[in-house]
Structure 1
Amino acid sequence: MQSSRRTDDESGSSRTDFGADQADKMSSRRKACNDCKQQKLRCDLTSAQVLTVSDYCSRCRRLGLACRIDDGFRRTRKRRQPTDLESEIQSLREQLRASQSNTSTSSQHNGTDWPVPAPVGTPGVVFNTLNQTDIGLNFSPVRPDSTPVSIDFPDATTNDADLQCLTTRPGIEPPTQHHASPFPLARPRALGNIILQIEEIDELFNMYIKHNHPYLPLIAEKKSPHEYYERSDLLFWVIMAVAARRHKSQPTLLPRLARNVTDLLWKTLRSMSHSISTIRALCLLCTWPFPTSSSTSDPTFMLVGIMLQMSTQMGLHCAFDAQDFAKVPLKLDTSEYSEWVQTWEACNIVAISVSIGCGLPLFSQVYESPSASQFESSSSESPFYLRLQIERFRLRVSLSLARPMPTGGEGALTRERSMMYHLLNLDLDELEKECSGSCDTEAWYLLAARLHLQAFYLFDHFAMEGYKDRIVGLFSTAYNLVDLGQRLNARLQGFFNHCPFFCYQTYVNAAFVLLKILTNGFFNPIVDAKAGKQLLESSITGLRQMSVANNDLPARLGDIIGFFCALPDPAVVGGVTLIDLQLKQVRNRLSMSVVGPHSMAVGHDGEGDVTAGEMPDGEAPRPSAASPISSGEPVIESGRMKKAAKAAAEAEAAAKGAAEELKKNIQEETKAEFE
């Protein structure tokens, strides 16, 4: 028995020694501090007990962090941080509403059921410009899953804050403008999963000022980007997104910004705390929208309407009487007045340009800018003065000629339109005299205005007086516009890389005008077909240079023009006789109607596809116009294009001799007419 007891004592002591050894090993194991463990970095901390700064690990000493080891510390997943912060904000708001209701000393009465408004920070359903799935836009501030709850109506002695969003009682609201600090600190900025360092922010801002700012001088060049962030985070991130369009060192920055800036945009609009900086951000975003492969998913025209309504609601159109639109005393000094006037002018320019580029009428009334003669500056000193006169002329053309023409060549409406052409051309000549001596960019805008006017000639009947001369003048205008664009692009900065999006739309319009007239059997021998074809081919290169993302609208329209240029029989596009030039398929898209029939031949809104079997001489197929950006979806054949190519081949084989004879007759008639 004694021996067995001795054996048990020895085994117990051995277990105790083993546990002590394990404890010594655990205590001697080197541990990482909290910050190094969070970042998954190697920590050179030697002692578990940190008493002085000298005991800190090298990383915490270098970064000035508090180096410590907590027994219950666990790493926090960064992807969960936004969700946790959003939940915390939601709980704090609920506590705030509960405290406000508890502190109310007024009597309560039973009320009806009202839906609970969602918090401002909760993002709704937003569009994604880089994905081609059709997603509805949710502007409602009410969450879909919210259930009606009972809310009591307070009496007249209740605080006005309790009635926010529930009644229309007038109340004193604070000014909506953000007051930035006089000396904002330069620091990294974050939006969602995007973090921009100070050097990256300065680089992008300098790129914007150098390349994009001259086209729409809406912001002050001398201010730092951090000052704009203090005034409006939306304006800051829109500037970064515009500059990121050509940021070669970070090619994925633009797609990531497209998603996050879009979320920020809708959250800002839903907050109803709008300011002049929000309107400026919308101006820039409508001028350089995010790339998309379909115009049906482009929200630019919708954002233009929001921008105009916000500007009118704030009183930018009546800046001298801004007090009429404010609930608090408001008096603008000279600099603030100038800022309001220039912002309203920029809104007018952007709205009219987007309207014409999309081929859609602008129903919002555009007021004249208030006179600046009451202050020291003159209206002619505004950086938008000449450009605004050009855009107002284009709007006048749209309002005067938007009514569809009758199919025949007789009638009072036809004579009225001829007189309207004459008057509008006289106004344009006066405008060109006023803008003489301006820069080449203003000259390009003047050509765009003339193209917008003369593109309506394609709606006219061929029997109208002076029809042939007008079509030749239209060809000359389109030729000069494309040629000037090529010369502007030859400069160091590059016109095609940084021009606004509506410049691309005007450029496409001019290219399709050249295509339609050059492929018409009647006008081909009249105009300089060789030079026109060379310029048309160079326009394809220009459109591809305007492209920002793979398979976006400029790239796709360039492929469509290239496809039509390569057809064996060009008469498929422009027709053979004088009658075939008239636009009959699309007649309600203003001057952009000339683009419609050709893009729909490949698919509605350019969304069809071109396959190798339809290409002449076995050329490689062009990118699928229906596929999303950067997607690898297979190419689908288009029945309409196959029929068009087949009809062209049959016409070329069966009527080649007749076409030559017809061409000779047309040349003889043309010479006799011009002699």
Structure 2
Amino acid sequence: MVSRRPKKGKKACTECRQQKAKCDVYLNPDQPCTRCRKVNANCIVSEPFKREHKRKRISDLERESEDLRRKLRSSQPADTHLSPIALLTAAAEMGVRTPASDTLSETPQPPPSYPPQLLAPTVLVHSTPGPAYDGDTTKSRTLNGIQVSAQEIDDLFQIFFRYYAQFLPILDPQARPNTYYAQSPFLFWAIIGVACRAYSRNPTLLMALARSIIEMALLSTLSVSPPSNTIQGILLLLTWPFPKGDHPDVTFPMGGILLHIAMQNGLHIPMSSHEFSRVKMAAPSDLDLLRRSELWAHSIIVYQRVCVTKGQLPRALGNLGQDPAQHQGLFENIAPWIALKLRCQELIAKCSEATTENGLRTMSLDQERALDLILRTYEGQVDDLELQAVTDDERFDTALCRMAIQSFHLYKNQTLVSSGCYPRILVTACSLIDYIQSLCERVGFLSMAPVQMGFALLLASTTLLRILKSSVASQGLEISRARASLFTAINLAQQMSVDSADLAAKTVTILKAVWNSSKAFRKMDGTEYSSLRIRSRLVLSLILDTVWWWRDEFDPGSRSVRSVVEPAQGNGYARSRYPGTAESSGPNGDTNREVAGSATTFGVPEGNDAFHLDEQFLADFEWALADDTLFSLDPLSSNWSTTNNLL
């Protein structure tokens, strides 16, 4: 008997043939083979199938993929805007000089290359030319239904790098608008939001875009864009904050977001920042270390500045997770002018902490003497910093630092005059105003002024106002200079304003009214009220105290309802006086409504035309307490002591 061999018709499935595995699909052609059922593979019997080598198949697929990419690139027009934006330093690599050398340069520079009517008012500025956009057509963009045309974007980018970037040189002026948008839409819109502050071709953009850009900033922690771009965008919005509109003031919480994003990405330890990355990366090069160090320095400067302008205690560098070696290395790596700014902000932070520890709410005679020693120590450190200041911009930084430290003198009551601080305070305040005036004379407008200039102007002017309305004004001080500087500050604030709802505009309203008031800083009997009533907001207390006096007399909603307390003896409180009482004489026996020999007299709001101090206004000045808590209680009632403790 002859045995039969299996017929060649017994075929294996393609999966088994590819793997050279035994296949039993021929036993039941209608069902998958045992192996395919086990590995859950698609069991197919194909006659023309030919086994392929794995490596050859992968190589063929890679070659096919590369061919497709090449065809795709060749079918599209050349586009260079997708190249990444480099994280730049303050060096000449950026093509941008330091703020002072740009703005206050004595050497005339070429006029703008674009029509000067883009800005209001029309000016010519000594500055570095803006970026050129030849060869890369800018695309129009839309944000929440607000469209910004390509021409407007080009205009705004040129305006930004010509007028604004000199105060915060952290962006590449050669990168195109399309590049910024492709890499970080938030940073792109932050640039647009800053630059449109005085864009006369479309004055509606500023407030139309404000809320949407602020929302982007608050959501930036969820962005997939590079963290450095997010930090840069927040730095811009905190340096040029939007005027008040239909959005709450989020400047202070945004400062915290800035600080924490920077720390989350290891900028506070630049040499070890790679250890904070989610993916394995090499240690930073020397250039990367410099870039990260300077970005961290800018972040600290802006964060501490936000805290000071909002009356909060800022964290010093020593409290931000740096050991002494890293702290020293930071100042050695960054540009000298950035290091000076950082040292100035550090002094303000440390002085604020020291004065708080000494006590500001209520001070005994010994505490006032201790405070005077503390402030003189820090003023001496400012003297050392002034020796390092070589440009007008650096001298402005040291003057603002000195002004912030000297403002704590006004917390004193018993030793305020005897300590001899008034002449020094007056000189500092006038020098700050002189700097801003010189900037205005050289540039021609102040709408691009960063927030530190607005705060300096407000702090200096309210300080001068307090001195001029006090009895010490007749004790050998340079009163004529102080009065001229105060009036200059009012005019500068008007030029600095970009919207009727911004802080500069409201500063003008308050300064005019309080200057012409015969009741400001006066008790009911006409005697001087020398101490501050707002004592919990550090450097900001002097400003808020002036706002409170203005509110008492000129806010229609507070008349005959809210009271202003006055001290009887020491820190105790006696009866209150209400707006509308008889006028009292000033320190020289006049009503202070007009200064003898001065042709400048500002109008005072009257009747229903008075500027109303609403909740939005209080939010601008970071008012801490609600109206009902702060003003409504009778000082003679049993609840007055509770309210007094809150103040």
TM-score when scaled to structure 2? Answer: 0.62
Q: Deviations over 1:420-464 (max 9, x none)?
A: 2232122111110011x22x1221121111101111001123237
Contact 1:520 1:575 in 2 (8 A): no
Q: Structure 1 pair 570/618, CA: closer, same or farther in 2 (3 Å)? A: closer
Partner of 2:407: 455
The reply to whether residue 342 of structure 1 matches residue 294 of structure 2 is yes
2:531 corresponds, among 563, 574, 582, to 582
Contact 2:361 2:535 in 1 (8 A): no
Contact 1:402 1:588 in 2 (8 A): no
**How many Å apart are 1:600 and its aligned residue?**
2.1
Q: Secondary structure at the match of 2:529?
A: helix
Partner of 1:218: 170
Q: Secondary structure at the match of 1:491?
A: helix
Q: Secondary structure at the match of 2:472?
A: coil
**How many Å apart are 1:256 and its aligned residue?**
1.4
The reply to whether residue 314 of structure 1 matches residue 262 of structure 2 is no
Measure the CA separation in 1 of the matches of 2:339 and 2:461: 29
What does residue range 31-430 of structure 1 map to in structure 2 within 5 Å?
Answer: 180=84, 186-271=138-223, 275-292=227-244, 297-331=248-282, 332-363=284-315, 365-366=319-320, 379=333, 381=335, 384-403=338-357, 404-405=359-360, 407=362, 409-411=364-366, 413-430=367-384
Partner of 1:470: 421
Measure the CA separation in 1 of the matches of 2:200 and 2:557: 30
Contact 2:406 2:425 in 1 (8 A): yes
Measure the CA separation in 1 of the matches of 2:426 and 2:523: 16
The reply to whether residue 597 of structure 1 matches residue 501 of structure 2 is no
Measure the CA separation in 1 of the matches of 2:465 and 2:329: 50
Q: Deviations over 1:113-171 (max 9, x none)?
A: xxxxxxxxxxxxxxxxxxxxxxxxxxxxxxxxxxxxxxxxxxxxxxxxxxxxxxxxxxx
**How many Å apart are 1:374 and its aligned residue?**
9.1
Higher mean C-alpha deviation, range 509-518 or range 257-266: 257-266
Contact 2:521 2:549 in 1 (8 A): no
Partner of 1:566: 516
**How many Å apart are 1:488 and its aligned residue?**
1.9
Q: Structure 1 pair 325/573, CA: closer, same or farther in 2 (3 Å)? A: farther
Q: Structure 1 pair 574/200, CA: closer, same or farther in 2 (3 Å)? A: farther
Partner of 1:79: none
Partner of 1:507: 457
Q: Deviations over 1:1-32 (max 9, x none)?
A: xxxxxxxxxxxxxxxxxxxxxxxxxxxxxxxx
Q: Secondary structure at the match of 2:471?
A: coil
**How many Å apart are 1:358 and its aligned residue?**
1.3
**How many Å apart are 1:363 and its aligned residue?**
4.3
**How many Å apart are 1:396 and its aligned residue?**
1.8
Give structure 1 stretches of 5+ with no counterpart.
1-104, 107-177, 630-637, 640-675
- Counterpart amino acid of residue 614 in structure 2: A
Measure the CA separation in 2 of the matches of 1:254 and 1:290: 8
Q: Structure 1 pair 186/363, CA: closer, same or farther in 2 (3 Å)? A: same
Q: Secondary structure at the match of 2:421?
A: helix
Measure the CA separation in 2 of the matches of 1:608 and 1:283: 38
Q: Secondary structure at the match of 2:460?
A: helix
Measure the CA separation in 1 of the matches of 2:337 and 2:150: 30
Q: Structure 1 pair 392/573, CA: closer, same or farther in 2 (3 Å)? A: farther
Contact 1:481 1:510 in 2 (8 A): yes
Q: Secondary structure at the match of 2:614?
A: coil
Q: Secondary structure at the match of 1:402?
A: helix
Partner of 2:467: 517
Contact 2:368 2:415 in 1 (8 A): no
Q: Structure 1 pair 581/601, CA: closer, same or farther in 2 (3 Å)? A: closer
Q: Secondary structure at the match of 1:434?
A: coil
Q: Structure 1 pair 608/348, CA: closer, same or farther in 2 (3 Å)? A: farther
| Count of residue correspondences | 447
Q: Deviations over 1:524-581 (max 9, x none)?
A: 343232332232122222222222212322211210111111124565399976x732
Q: Structure 1 pair 271/488, CA: closer, same or farther in 2 (3 Å)? A: closer
- Counterpart amino acid of residue 226 in structure 1: N
Q: Structure 1 pair 250/527, CA: closer, same or farther in 2 (3 Å)? A: same
**How many Å apart are 1:301 and its aligned residue?**
0.9
2:492 corresponds, among 542, 545, 548, to 542
Q: Deviations over 1:469-514 (max 9, x none)?
A: 11221122112212222222111253x3211123212211111111
**How many Å apart are 1:351 and its aligned residue?**
0.8
**How many Å apart are 1:387 and its aligned residue?**
1.6
Q: Structure 1 pair 528/378, CA: closer, same or farther in 2 (3 Å)? A: closer
Measure the CA separation in 2 of the matches of 1:527 and 1:372: 42
Q: Structure 1 pair 623/407, CA: closer, same or farther in 2 (3 Å)? A: closer
Contact 1:448 1:481 in 2 (8 A): yes
Contact 1:189 1:195 in 2 (8 A): yes
Measure the CA separation in 2 of the matches of 1:372 and 1:304: 21
- Counterpart amino acid of residue 589 in structure 1: R
Partner of 1:62: none
Q: Secondary structure at the match of 1:190?
A: strand
Contact 1:282 1:303 in 2 (8 A): yes
- Counterpart amino acid of residue 582 in structure 1: S
Give structure 2 stretches of 5+ with no counterpart.
1-38, 41-81, 87-134, 560-578, 584-592, 594-602, 618-626, 629-647
2:442 corresponds, among 473, 476, 491, to 491
Measure the CA separation in 1 of the matches of 2:372 and 2:264: 39
- Counterpart amino acid of residue 315 in structure 1: G
Contact 2:180 2:187 in 1 (8 A): yes
Contact 1:394 1:449 in 2 (8 A): yes
Q: Secondary structure at the match of 1:490?
A: helix
Partner of 2:388: 434
Q: Secondary structure at the match of 2:142?
A: strand
Measure the CA separation in 2 of the matches of 1:607 and 1:336: 54
Higher mean C-alpha deviation, range 548-557 or range 204-213: 548-557
TM-score when scaled to structure 1? Answer: 0.60
Q: Secondary structure at the match of 1:384?
A: helix
Contact 2:268 2:321 in 1 (8 A): yes
Q: Structure 1 pair 366/503, CA: closer, same or farther in 2 (3 Å)? A: farther
Contact 1:409 1:460 in 2 (8 A): no
Contact 2:189 2:213 in 1 (8 A): yes
Q: Structure 1 pair 240/525, CA: closer, same or farther in 2 (3 Å)? A: same
Give the superposed CA RMSD: 3.8
